Amino acid sequence: MDEAEINYYVLFDNYTQGLALQELLQSEAILARITPTPHVLQGELSCGMALLVLPRDLEAVRACIDRHGAAIHEIVSLPCQIRPRRDRFC
């Protein structure tokens, strides 16, 4: 599987941690999108929020977390969950 087909999800113990990291990433112009925690991971945490990070931004995200001591549960890689042709019938 090529790296473009892998997404990284930053998982949190609570929403406050997720929103705080998202704000830090925005302040450093690092792209991360708030997303629901993928179904395959939802049973592990009580927080249903994750940040979706593209492979090209992963090192910058890790550096930001280290620099600011941001609280996270873990970073998980999964095959891309986004299916652009979903619900298209033509």
| Statement: residue 88 has pLDDT above 70 | no
pLDDT tens by residue, 9-65: 999 999 999 999 999 999 999 999 999 888 777 665 667 899 999 899 999 999 999
Rounded-to-integer distance, Cα 15 and Cα 22, Å: 10
Pick 2 or 36 by higher pLDDT: 36
Backbone CA torsion sign across 56, 61, 64, 65: negative
All structural domains of the chain, each given as residue ranges with its CATH number in brackets, are 3-79 (3.30.70.980)
Kind and range of the H or E element at 31?
A: none
CA distances from 33 to 1, 26, 30 (A): 23, 10, 10
Residue 8 identity: Y
Q: Give the pLDDT score at 43.
A: 65
